[in-house]
Amino acid sequence: MPNPFEPELLIEAHGAVRVVTLNRPEALNATNEALHGALQAVWGHLAQDADARAVVLTGAGRAFSAGGDFEHFVELWDDRPRRRREIDGARRLLTEMVDFPLPVVAAVNGPAVGLGCNLAVLSDIVLIAESAYISDPHVSVGLTAADGGAPTWPLLMSMLRAKEYLLTSERIPAEQAVALGLANRVVPDAELLKQALAVAQKIASLPPQAVQSTKRALNMHIKRAVAGVLEYALSEEFDSFETVEHQALVTSFLQRAKAKATQAKSPS
């Protein structure tokens, strides 16, 4: 099937497995409007691929996904209709992934942050590279953790642990992610994609009706658990874009990044 999501998402066929790659490596695969839209639509597109039986999800370059693009955040501050579309898109993305019939193996090749961590844990099997980590820093940038860990992490780890990591925004190294239940196993960096493909190909070789109906049954637990939480959290995230704290934190980050880039370009 032709890929309508380039350049933001690459889709490569490996037999019955489709490898979907987030493709903004220069921005650590942070989600701007175009990538966010592609991530919402790609699942319906892949579900129409009659030859596909499983998917591997990964990132180009050295990150899985750094979460939301801060420059895009600024665009949302004073444009409430655009921000509403973004929040509605976050709801759609979670729903599309949970309802997607094919098994998804996440190959977390680098930092999986914010929305990136949610993309990982909404997958069905998560392999994480030794050098990678997971983090949901929504709170540290003044946002409600709606499209990150708040709806899903308590289903995967204890409530106390979920509160600790969401309220402090601490990074979770690969080994700890496995211990907590956010990943299945740690894999050497150089072996990650190979092992993710092997898992996906193994599942793709099994009877598709049995695989897909079993996934659907399991995901019913997720759908029932997140429904009310997601609506509340997304409503609060919409409002938190307008807070003084969030805007100051993002402005400070962008100023530091600009100063660092200017310094790097200056002759020594």
pLDDT digits (tens, 9 = 90+) for 213-232: 999 999 999 999 898 899 99
Identify whether 173 is preceded by a cis peptide bond (ω within 30 of 0): no
Q: Which CATH architecture has domain 9-191+201-265?
A: Alpha-Beta Complex (3.90)
If you average pLDDT over residues 78-90, what whole number do you get? 94
How open is the CA angle 129-197-8, to the nearest 5 degrees? 75
pLDDT of residue 266: 67
| Domain boundaries defined on the chain | 9-191+201-265
At 258, the pLDDT band (50, 70, 90 cuts) reads confident
68: nearest Cα among 46, 39, 99: 39
If you average pLDDT over residues 140-168, what whole number do you get? 93
pLDDT of residue 263: 77
At 1, the pLDDT band (50, 70, 90 cuts) reads confident
Tokens of 37: 């839209």
State the average pLDDT for the chain.
Answer: 94
If you average pLDDT over residues 221-249, what whole number do you get? 93
- Per the model's pLDDT, the better-predicted residue between 48 and 258 turns out to be 48
pLDDT one-digit tens code per residue, 173-211: 999 999 999 999 999 999 999 999 999 999 999 999 999
Contact 45, 1 (CB under 8 A): yes
Amino acid type, 229:
V
- Per the model's pLDDT, the better-predicted residue between 86 and 263 turns out to be 86
pLDDT one-digit tens code per residue, 10-22: 999 999 999 999 9
If you average pLDDT over residues 46-53, what whole number do you get? 97
Q: Is the pLDDT of residue 171 over 60?
A: yes
pLDDT of residue 268: 53
Tokens of 237: 């995230």
Give residue for tokens 């079993």: 214
pTM, 2 dp: 0.93
pLDDT of residue 228: 85
